[in-house]
Amino acid sequence: MDTNTFQTIDSIFNPTSVAVVGASRTPGKAGSAFLKGLIAARFKGDLFPVNPEGGEVMGLPAYRCLGDIPRPVDNVIVAIPRAALPPVLEDCATKGVRMVQLFTAGFSELSGEDGLAQEKQLAARARSCGYRLLGPNCIGVSRPALSLPLGPEGILARPGHVGFVSQSGSLSLRTAQVGITRGIGFSKIVSFGNGADLDSLDFLEYMGMDPDTTVIGAYLEGVKDGPRFVRILKDICRTKPVVVWKGGATEAGARTAASHTGSLAGSMAVWRAALKQSAAMAADTLEEAGDLLLGLQTLPPVSGKRVTIISGLADGGGGESVAASDICTSLGMEAPPFAPATVKALTGLVGSVGSILHNPLDLSQAYGRPERIRQALELASGDPNIDVVIFEAVLDFLYAWLSDETIEALFSMLIELSPKLGKPVIAILPPGINEMPRLELEKRLLAAGVPSYPSLERAVKTLARLHRWNRQRAETEIESWDRGGP
């Protein structure tokens, strides 16, 4: 990507002013929702509602057309019927805006070749007039650090270093929501819809060059230029990990994709081959994409696949230990035996009755005592046969057996100790009846650089994928990767 194109796309994520065409005093209208979201997020720039009746909208002066706005306008969000577009687009050209975001739909996703021809005309007109077109049929861009929210819902994700490119508006919103609940921080998010002008390849290439972005995720239903897609992915994956969630994997899904954003989904086998060839990671679901992005954001490179799993912090963990061994083996990771010296030290610490002192480790005989669990964690993580530490805290059991004071001391110890163990650490916090304390603990652990997963299966699957990616990265001599901090 040349410098001028990069700077043009970068300016879309850094507007100093936004106009909303279609802003209305009527609740429930899309234009009103966009404006309300920008106001609620406290967007750090000027806002200009555009409504043919003028007056005020949500306490802001409303302008009858873009030309009436007395100051420059960077980005324009257009949420009006398709038939009303032509004069608005002419105003955009005259006003000298940088980007026009068309929430307006009804093009290639509905009318096939005719709609596609109309989109090509829109894109050609935009380029000839000096602005770039986003959409149609899209909810646009978000930059959390600038308080620029996503879509008419006004979702403002956590600031961070993950960039996300999405063909779907609703799934970009869902991804941002997953980020909010699980602690994934985003540099930039874009929903480009039909991609008449700027599309997935432009934004992927931009994210690859963007210094604010160190991890990239994408939801794609199809691409217009397969060879360019592979070239861009290969280039990006030399310095940054990329997770691609492919929509339209089945015949039924491909038909739906065609009617959603007018996309030609292509053979899933070809997609898989392209991702493997480029070292990008494939995700099959929103949950899997979120798991991978969280791990990439938080964990250092996973260089080994030998895991210790510690459970039974206050109750019998024997069953969990057996299941953990099966899960690791089935997903390509290992739970190797501890070295004899580690087993001896653990036996002296918690005894040999009622606990399982090989790996996976059941600490039920520590009776929830924070100092004893701390020593056991240090012994297990320091074992030469171990690369990654996983501890499982079932809050429902802890609250049944321990006092609130002991639980707080236990969690404070885990949060303080985890960054000092010298190895990647993951927490398993299964959902249950104590959901609010669980969510609070997730936040506290994440602040210490420890990601949490709702099940052992999802955590180990994520580790296995990250280990394979790191191994492939080393084998192909990919450049060092900096995840950009917690």
The answer as to whether 482 is a domain residue is no
Domain count, the chain: 3
Residues of 421-439 as b/e, b for ≥16 C-beta within 10 angstroms?
bebbbbbbbbeeebeebbe
**Rounded CA separation 242/339 (Å):** 37
What is the percentage of the chain residues whose pLDDT exceeds 90?
Answer: 72
pLDDT tens by residue, 405-455: 999 999 999 999 999 999 999 999 999 999 999 999 999 999 999 999 999
On the question of pLDDT at 272 being above 70, the answer is: yes
- Asked whether residue 481 is assigned to any structural domain, the reply reads no
Residue 65 lies in a domain: yes
pLDDT in tens, 287-331: 999 999 999 999 998 989 999 999 888 765 555 667 778 888 898
- Pair (162, 237) in one structural domain: yes
pLDDT at 132 over 90: yes
Cα gap 275→438, rounded to integer Å:
36
Q: Is a pLDDT exceeding 50 seen at residue 259?
A: no
pLDDT band at 102 (very low <50, low <70, confident <90, very high): very high
290 shares a domain with 229: yes
**DSSP 8-state assignment for residue 67:** G
Q: Does 484 fall in a domain?
A: no
pTM for this model (two decimals)? 0.91
Q: Looking at residue 109, which CATH number applies to its domain?
A: 3.40.50.720
Report how far residue 247's alpha carbon sits from residue 253's, in angstroms, rounded to the nearest whole number. Answer: 7
> In angstroms, rounded to a whole number, what is the distance separating the alpha carbons of residues 484 and 297?
8
The shares of helix, strand and coil residues in the chain, as percent rounded to the nearest 5, are 45, 15, 35
The CATH number assigned to the domain holding 287 equals 3.40.50.261
End-to-end CA distance of the chain: 29
Task: Summarize pLDDT for 30-74 with one digit per residue, the tens.
Answer: 999 999 999 999 999 999 999 999 999 999 999 999 999 999 999
Q: Are 190 and 286 in a shared domain?
A: yes
The band of 476, judged by pLDDT with boundaries at 50, 70 and 90, is low
Is 239's pLDDT higher than 50?
yes
